[in-house]
């Protein structure tokens, strides 16, 4: 068991280091940040001086080592654009993204669970079809478009909800819906199929024959078992929310990590891109790790495969 | 009471004294009160005057720092921190002789002296700290004569010094030496009407009116100012409409008509300091663009007026070489008329009866409103005339890198590019033309974004740079403008974007053009 | 729980016929197939079908609403945008781009991914470890972040979009193929086949391919929608398809500034995306329900 966990954590670590190299190299290939930081008519001597000061004239592998050396200690350097520590900028905005991801996840689960249960219980009926259809529709509409439509209807025309920004619960509603919309279909399917499995099982049938009311069977006993696959996948879904947050944050001007990274990519602000993407990778890997570990706990066969 | 002589003297003295006290208190300024929240569409990346690189950065710097000279609301240049100044000749070399005002204080109470300007000039010239050191290259030495009198000695004439408000920002030497560069950037201190309070990156800047500000008549009358940063158009407009902010700077062009009709709202539409144009790859060997007839054909092929009207919602002012009111403005130069037949004819004359294909590079990042759509429209007009555009969209970083001369590798700007280089307000083309009209000279800083190669124009541009006498310099610039127009070099000028500022009736506001490209809150307050 | 194939190779004819019957008996999603067919037609014949040149500007005709609106006209069925371009023609042009991107991506990522999975599973050992770690590293970077950075490096264009999305999706195919190969290696009949003199290639073709083909096909169909949404997101952010190519995502990005002026600009391209994804998802589900013998009929 311990070996399994250690192995998994080790692999996660390798992934993160690998991710840092990939992002480091690729972001440095995006172009010259110096020209963007100086006035248009700055002469070449000034540009070279700045390049030297920022250490961008060293060979790539040396730049990476310097970066890694500092990164381990938590120093990602100063943002080229804002001249403040990159990690600070990114960490300040992390809570907003996590809040958004959690809200999105909450929204999707609160739709998927009832839909899945109802679809399973009333299998084959119009409720089932409706549930599947609704979920399917969700999977067909890109999150950012749903967001744009909601802004059009609820902000521009009806004026009920604020179009952008953050601060109150009202600001969270539309971004959460736009983010959580997509995985509803997959989650509904999982809940439904898990429920169907359980509802057919012996002990539920026994409960039925003993006279327990149907609704109690469904909500209390069946659901508890059906929830297991959903719960174990929560980590994966949270990670997916983090990924999807990038675009939703841009649409809603949500002051989170994703939007900061997108802006930094455009501004060739390497330190912020590195810090932001690495941080997200760490969260990603951790979430997936937790899922794997929980599977390992639940299903001993998995520990020994691979 | 018997009126003794003593009583008369004392009562007269008392009367005179109280009269004088009343007089002096009428001279002293009423302290600023109240709170005001406004919104900018873009924000500065730095608060340190030597570290700014784009016009946007002056939005914040301009509230706290001042220069020797500045344009007033009618764009006429007036002395500001300088009481008087002139250019003199000394041993055949140029010298700017400056006398600064007395009684000017920094936000921390230190008095402004010549030493502070000496410090400022040295800092600006230091390539390790400043991004503008190349503009100080012609300064030989800074001579302090006394606390309020100094002279700047030049190795050679430098017209840009005159054009750019004498360059120098008033920065506090003692304070800087105490807190260091980082401390200064975190907590800047200047002589401006606003004192720095706090800043939250990407969110807001908080300022407080400086009570000891030197100018007693032209100053803000509201005490606490919060500048929110709201780049999204819809949000900014919504914030204004709901009253969350009472002043916004860039009303989106599509909504300006609506804003002008809003009750209780005032607007001001001003010309921003940016100048947009279309440039051609005359430097590529055997390119059709080397032929002046082809460039002229392109000039006649684009209907700039229609584009400004339909794509920019009329938020652009057409300019020909130099904008109206700028140094070197020549009212006799008329824009190339839109004439499709003439364009096709010129192409035929140049040997392209069936037109030709060319790469057209468009900026997609909205550095100016609708710049992407404007570019698309221009390229569509060119295509209609036979100059078939293969349009390529570039975001800002890629666009800057493509346009720049002297890089080591591909890609090469080999066709048409939508470009911009601000001449400022009121407008001076000296530095911009040195950058996109003078031929490219590696290592010297000339023509860093230029594709032209005209020795006659080069000579005139260099002469203009050396000339410090304003009327002589203006004549040279006018001559350059004429030749530039005839030869269609350094780009086809299109328009200067207009920017609309909106504020509620309860706000008392007068727009000042600089520093900050109209985002200057020199005179703002709440009506009583 | 796999359906075992006979040693002689290939599917028994009876089973093959059964597949077709199952497909037909399942309830063909006619609507979705029609939509997909329309898309493919648009992709192939787009330029001739569209009433206007999708990039033709007409500054005198900006912001015309769709035909059913008061100010609309049938000359521009779905209205015009801020530069007077016809929306209907642009949607058709966008269909062409979306379908082409999706096809390229699926074929390439399927091909590259399957190949890598094959190598990894077949050779095992260090090769497998390295390739799988590569996949892990890639999956640990949020796909959009990686795509963004790569798009900037490679300069956004049609080719870049394809490359970027292929890099994002290859891991799915690799994993499936790899696990199939691994489980195949354990099977007795494969060892027997080798003893009998069958080359590796024959084994792969006869035993691996049939097992894996169905799963890959289902995955591919389901991914069409995902790829289209991904491409739309990239284009929306400005790093995907560039002008003069037309992309639905790009149309949505352009429409953002005019939400208050012209609702049709922000809704219609999204509807196109939605219908395409819906169609591909329904078809994918249909294929999965019939072709994948592991699925219980529910």
Q: What pLDDT, on the 0 to 100 scale, is given for residue B20?
A: 54
pLDDT band at A170 (very low <50, low <70, confident <90, very high): confident
Q: What does pTM read for this prediction?
A: 0.83
| pLDDT tens by residue, B449-502 | 999 999 999 999 999 998 888 889 999 999 999 999 999 999 999 999 999 999
| pLDDT tens by residue, A128-145 | 888 878 888 888 888 889
Out of B12-16, C130-134, C152-156, pick the least confident. Answer: B12-16
- Among the ranges A24-33, B86-95, B455-464, C12-21, which has the highest mean pLDDT value? B455-464
Closest approach of B125 to chain A, Cα-based (Å): 11
User: Could C152 and B397 be called an inter-chain contact, meaning their C-beta atoms sit closer than 8 Å?
Assistant: yes
CB pairs < 8 Å spanning A and C: 138
CB-nearest partner of C277 from A31, A140, A284: A140
Residue of C nearest to A266 (CA): C152
- Whether B25 shows a pLDDT value over 50: the answer reads no
CB-nearest partner of A40 from B203, B235, B449: B449
Residues B298 and B418 sit within 8 Å (Cβ to Cβ): no
Express as a percent the part of chain C with pLDDT over 90: 9
Q: What pLDDT, on the 0 to 100 scale, is given for residue B26?
A: 44
User: Could A152 and C142 be called an inter-chain contact, meaning their C-beta atoms sit closer than 8 Å?
Assistant: no
Domain ranges for chain C, please list them: 29-296
Q: Which of C53, C64, C83, C152 to mutate to test the interface with B (most CBs of B within 10 A)?
A: C83
Express as a percent the part of chain B with pLDDT over 70: 94
Q: What pLDDT, on the 0 to 100 scale, is given for residue B339?
A: 94
Q: What pLDDT, on the 0 to 100 scale, is given for residue C216?
A: 82
H-state helical runs in chain C: 13-25, 30-49, 87-123, 125-140, 143-153, 158-186, 188-195, 200-203, 209-237, 248-255, 263-291
User: Could A155 and B238 be called an inter-chain contact, meaning their C-beta atoms sit closer than 8 Å?
Assistant: yes
- Whether C6 shows a pLDDT value over 50: the answer reads no
Q: What CATH fold (topology level) applies to the domain C29-296? A: MetI-like fold (1.10.3720)
Q: Which residues of C touch A280 (CB under 8 A)?
A: 141-142, 145
H-state helical runs in B244-403: 256-261, 292-301, 304-310, 340-349, 371-385, 396-403
- Whether C243 shows a pLDDT value over 60: the answer reads yes
pLDDT band at A10 (very low <50, low <70, confident <90, very high): confident
Higher pLDDT among residues B129 and B298, named by residue: B298
Closest approach of C139 to chain A, Cα-based (Å): 9
Q: Which residues of B touch C258 (CB under 8 A)?
A: 254
User: Could C145 and A26 be called an inter-chain contact, meaning their C-beta atoms sit closer than 8 Å?
Assistant: no
Out of A213-222, B319-328, C19-28, C223-232, pick the least confident. Answer: C19-28
Q: What pLDDT, on the 0 to 100 scale, is given for residue B396?
A: 86
User: Could C258 and B307 be called an inter-chain contact, meaning their C-beta atoms sit closer than 8 Å?
Assistant: no
CB pairs < 8 Å spanning A and B: 89
Q: What pLDDT, on the 0 to 100 scale, is given for residue B378?
A: 95
- When the pLDDT of each residue in chain B is averaged and rounded to a whole number, the result is 89
Closest approach of A46 to chain B, Cα-based (Å): 6
Out of B278-292, B464-478, C5-19, pick the least confident. Answer: C5-19
ipTM: 0.80
Q: Which residues of A touch B397 (CB under 8 A)?
A: 30-31, 33, 36, 266-268
Using a CB–CB cutoff of 8 Å, tell me whether A267 touches chain B: yes
- Among the ranges A62-66, B87-91, B455-459, which has the highest mean pLDDT value? B455-459
Q: What pLDDT, on the 0 to 100 scale, is given for residue B491?
A: 92
User: Could C278 and A137 be called an inter-chain contact, meaning their C-beta atoms sit closer than 8 Å?
Assistant: yes
| pLDDT tens by residue, C181-196 | 787 777 766 676 677 7
Q: CB neighbours of C239 closer than 8 A, spacing ≥ 6?
A: B395, C147, C148, C151, C152, C156
- CA dihedral over B340, B345, B349, B353, signed as positive or negative: positive
β-strand partners of C111: none
User: Could A41 and B445 be called an inter-chain contact, meaning their C-beta atoms sit closer than 8 Å?
Assistant: yes
Q: Which residues of A touch C141 (CB under 8 A)?
A: 19, 22-23, 277, 280-281, 284
Query: Taking residues B47-76, what's their average pLDDT?
Result: 90
CB-nearest partner of A163 from B53, B128, B235: B235
H-state helical runs in B350-395: 371-385
Q: CB neighbours of C154 closer than 8 A, spacing ≥ 6?
A: C160, C163, C164
User: Could B377 and C156 be called an inter-chain contact, meaning their C-beta atoms sit closer than 8 Å?
Assistant: no
Q: What pLDDT, on the 0 to 100 scale, is given for residue A205?
A: 77
Q: What pLDDT, on the 0 to 100 scale, is given for residue A165?
A: 66
Q: What pLDDT, on the 0 to 100 scale, is given for residue A7?
A: 82
Higher pLDDT among residues C43 and A269, named by residue: A269
Q: Which helix (H) or strand (E) holds B99?
A: strand B93-100
* C-beta contacts of A129-136 below 8 A and 24+ residues apart: A131/A188, A131/A192, A132/A188, A135/A184, A135/A185, A135/A188, A135/A189, A136/A185, A136/C278, A136/C281, A136/C282, A136/C285
User: Could B421 and A43 be called an inter-chain contact, meaning their C-beta atoms sit closer than 8 Å?
Assistant: no
| pLDDT tens by residue, A66-125 | 888 888 887 888 888 888 888 989 999 999 999 999 999 999 989 888 888 888 888 778
Residues B413 and B402 sit within 8 Å (Cβ to Cβ): yes
Residue with tokens 């390119």: B287
Using a CB–CB cutoff of 8 Å, tell me whether A151 touches chain B: yes
User: Could C152 and A265 be called an inter-chain contact, meaning their C-beta atoms sit closer than 8 Å?
Assistant: yes
- Whether C298 shows a pLDDT value over 60: the answer reads no
Using a CB–CB cutoff of 8 Å, tell me whether C35 touches chain B: no
């Amino acid at each position: 068991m311990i070996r399994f966990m250690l192995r998994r954590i080790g692999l996660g670590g390798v992934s993160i280091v690998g991710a840092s190299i990939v992002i480091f190299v690729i972001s440095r290939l995006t172009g010259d940040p110096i020209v963007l930081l100086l006035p248009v008519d700055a002469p070449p001597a000034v540009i070279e001086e700045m390049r030297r000061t920022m250490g961008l004239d060293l060979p790539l592998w040396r730049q990476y080592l310097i970066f890694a050396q500092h990164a381990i200690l938590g120093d990602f350097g100063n943002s080229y654009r804002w001249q403040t520590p990159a990690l600070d900028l990114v960490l300040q905005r992390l809570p907003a993204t996590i809040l958004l991801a959690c809200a999105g996840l909450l929204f999707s689960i609160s739709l998927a669970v009832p839909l899945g249960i109802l679809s399973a219980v009333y299998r084959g009926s119009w409720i089932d079809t409706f549930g599947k259809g609704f979920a399917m529709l969700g999977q067909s509409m890109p999150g950012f478009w749903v967001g744009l439509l909601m802004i059009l209807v609820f902000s521009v025309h009806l004026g009920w909800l604020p179009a952008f920004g953050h601060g109150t619960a009202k600001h969270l509603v539309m971004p959460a819906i736009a983010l959580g919309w997509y995985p509803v279909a997959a989650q509904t399917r999982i809940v439904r199929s898990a429920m169907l499995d359980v509802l057919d099982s012996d002990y539920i049938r026994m409960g039925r024959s003993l006279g327990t009311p149907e609704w109690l069977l469904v909500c209390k006993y069946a659901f508890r078992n059906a929830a297991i696959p959903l719960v174990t996948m929560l980590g994966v879904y949270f990670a997916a929310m983090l990924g999807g947050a990038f675009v939703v944050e841009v649409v809603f001007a949500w002051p989170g990590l994703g939007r900061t990274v997108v802006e930094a990519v455009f501004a060739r602000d390497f330190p912020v891109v590195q810090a932001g993407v690495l941080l997200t990778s760490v969260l990603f890997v951790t979430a997936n790790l937790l899922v794997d570990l929980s599977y390992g706990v639940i299903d001993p066969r998995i520990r020994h495969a691979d | 009471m018997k009126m003794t002589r003593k009583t008369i003297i004392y009562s007269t003295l008392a009367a005179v004294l109280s009269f004088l006290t009343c007089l002096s208190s009428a001279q002293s300024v009423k302290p600023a009160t109240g709170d005001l929240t406004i919104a900018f569409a873009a924000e500065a990346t730095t608060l340190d005057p030597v570290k700014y690189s784009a016009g946007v950065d002056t939005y914040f710097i301009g509230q706290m720092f001042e220069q020797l000279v500045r344009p007033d609301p009618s764009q006429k240049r007036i002395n500001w921190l300088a009481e008087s100044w002139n250019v003199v000749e000394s041993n055949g070399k140029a010298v700017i002789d400056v006398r600064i005002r007395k009684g000017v204080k920094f936000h921390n109470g230190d008095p402004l002296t010549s030493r502070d300007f000496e410090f400022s000039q040295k800092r600006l010239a230091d390539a390790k700290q400043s991004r503008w050191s190349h503009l100080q290259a012609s300064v030989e030495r800074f001579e302090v004569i006394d606390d309020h009198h100094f002279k700047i000695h030049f190795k050679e004439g430098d017209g840009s010094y005159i054009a750019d408000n004498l360059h120098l920002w008033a920065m506090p030497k003692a304070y800087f030496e105490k807190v260091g560069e980082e401390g200064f950037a975190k907590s800047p201190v200047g002589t401006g009407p606003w004192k720095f309070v706090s800043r939250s990156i990407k969110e807001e800047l908080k300022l407080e009116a400086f009570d000891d500000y030197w100018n007693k008549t032209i100053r803000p009358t509201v005490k606490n100012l919060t500048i929110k940063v709201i780049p999204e158009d819809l949000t900014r407009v919504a914030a204004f409409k709901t009253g969350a902010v009472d002043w916004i700077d860039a009303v989106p062009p599509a909504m300006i008509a609506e804003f002008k009709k809003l009750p209780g709202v005032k607007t001001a539409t001003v010309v921003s300091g940016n100048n947009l144009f279309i440039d051609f790859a005359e430097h590529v060997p055997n390119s059709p663009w080397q032929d002046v007839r082809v460039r002229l054909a392109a000039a006649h092929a684009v209907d700039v007026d229609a584009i400004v009207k339909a794509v920019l919602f009329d938020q652009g002012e057409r300019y020909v070489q130099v904008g109206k009111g700028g140094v070197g403005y020549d009212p006799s130069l008329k824009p190339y008329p839109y004439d499709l037949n003439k364009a096709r004819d010129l192409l035929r004359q140049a040997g392209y009866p069936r037109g030709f294909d060319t790469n057209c590079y468009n900026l997609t990042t909205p550095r100016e409103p609708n710049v992407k759509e404007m570019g698309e429209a221009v390229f569509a007009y060119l295509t209609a005339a036979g100059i078939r555009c293969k349009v390529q969209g570039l975001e800002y970083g890629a666009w800057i890198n493509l346009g720049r001369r002297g890089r080591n590798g591909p890609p090469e700007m080999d066709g048409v590019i939508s470009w911009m280089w601000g001449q400022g307000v009121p407008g001076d083309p000296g530095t911009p033309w040195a950058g996109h009209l003078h031929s490219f000279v590696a290592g010297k800083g000339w023509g860093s974004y230029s594709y032209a190669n005209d020795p006659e124009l080069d000579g005139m541009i260099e002469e203009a740079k050396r000339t410090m006498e304003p009327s002589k310099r203006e004549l040279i610039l006018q001559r350059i403008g004429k030749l530039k127009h005839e030869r269609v070099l350094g780009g086809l000028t299109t328009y200067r974007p207009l920017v609309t500022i909106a504020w509620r009736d309860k706000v008392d506001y007068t727009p000042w053009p600089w520093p900050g490209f109209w985002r200057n809150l020199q005179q703002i307050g709440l009506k009583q | 729980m796999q359906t075992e194939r006979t040693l002689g190779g290939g599917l028994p004819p009876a089973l093959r016929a059964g597949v077709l019957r199952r497909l037909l008996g399942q309830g063909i999603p006619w609507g979705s197939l029609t939509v997909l067919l329309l898309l493919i037609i648009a992709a192939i014949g787009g330029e001739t079908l569209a009433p206007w040149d999708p990039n033709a500007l007409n500054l005198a005709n900006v912001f015309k609403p769709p035909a059913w609106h008061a100010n609309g006209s049938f000359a521009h069925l779905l209205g015009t945008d801020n530069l007077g371009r016809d929306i209907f023609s642009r949607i058709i042009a966008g269909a062409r781009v979306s379908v082409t991107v999706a096809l390229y991506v699926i074929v390439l990522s399927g091909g590259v991914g399957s190949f890598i999975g094959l190598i990894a599973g077949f050779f095992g050992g260090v090769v497998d470890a390295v390739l799988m770690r590569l996949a892990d590293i890639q999956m640990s970077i949020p796909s959009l972040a990686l795509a963004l950075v790569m798009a900037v490096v490679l300069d956004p264009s049609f080719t870049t979009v394809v490359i970027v999305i292929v890099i994002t999706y290859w891991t799915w195919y690799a994993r499936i193929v790899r696990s199939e190969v691994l489980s195949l290696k354990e099977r007795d009949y494969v060892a027997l086949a080798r003893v009998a003199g069958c080359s590796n290639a024959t084994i792969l073709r006869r035993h691996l391919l049939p097992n894996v083909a169905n799963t890959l096909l289902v995955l591919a169909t389901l991914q069409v929608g995902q790829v289209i949404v991904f491409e739309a997101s990239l284009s929306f952010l400005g790093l995907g398809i560039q002008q003069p190519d037309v992309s639905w995502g790009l149309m949505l990005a352009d429409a953002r500034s005019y939400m208050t002026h012209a609702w049709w600009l922000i809704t219609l391209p999204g509807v196109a995306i939605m219908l395409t994804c819906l169609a591909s998802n329904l078809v994918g589900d249909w294929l999965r329900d019939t072709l994948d013998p592991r699925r219980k009929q529910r």
